[in-house]
Amino acid sequence: MKQVFHQILSSLMALLVLASTVSWTVDKHICMGRVMDISLFAHADDCGMDMDMDKEKSCCDDESFTVQGQDDLKISFENFSLDQQVFLVSFVHTYFLLFEIGSDEPTPFSEYNPPPLIRDVQVLDQTFLI
């Protein structure tokens, strides 16, 4: 279950990076105030009404807008302020202390042998702790 969730999450993050780096162009053809065609990445088809008319008297209009994607995805580690450096060092230090293996402290009862069981008193007296 954990591996499936991890794979889904990593796939969604990869799609998010892909969507943020690609430039999107949306082109619309509007004729008499109504949207006739919308196209992504290409020119929208016209409705054919403005073929005989002048461009000045045309009832149709083409609109397009572009959403620019990111070009630079490299993280620069040269421009850290002092506050960011202190945070990074303290975060890494506390993160590594989470996984510190405990020291081998001697246990005082490791050499202790339990007393021999001569008879099982709980079974004989029929007293059980529930």
Full residue range of the structural domain in which residue 64 is found: 23-47+55-68
79-113 pLDDT, tens per residue?
Answer: 888 898 899 999 999 888 887 676 677 778 878 88
Answer yes or no: is 13 within a domain.
no
Answer yes or no: is 36 within a domain.
yes
Answer yes or no: is 42 within a domain.
yes
Assign 52 a pLDDT band (cuts: 50, 70, 90): low
Answer yes or no: is 35 within a domain.
yes
Answer yes or no: is 64 within a domain.
yes
Answer yes or no: is 78 within a domain.
no
Q: How far is Cα 8 from Cα 2, in angstroms, rounded to an integer? A: 10
Answer yes or no: is 38 within a domain.
yes
Report the pLDDT value the prediction gives residue 17, as an integer from 0 to 100. Answer: 86
Whole-number Cα distances in Å, 74 to 10, 67, 77 = 19, 20, 9
Are 26 and 38 contacting, i.e. CB atoms less than 8 angstroms apart?
yes
Domain count, the chain: 1
Answer yes or no: is 33 within a domain.
yes
Neighbours of 44 (CB within 10 A): 19
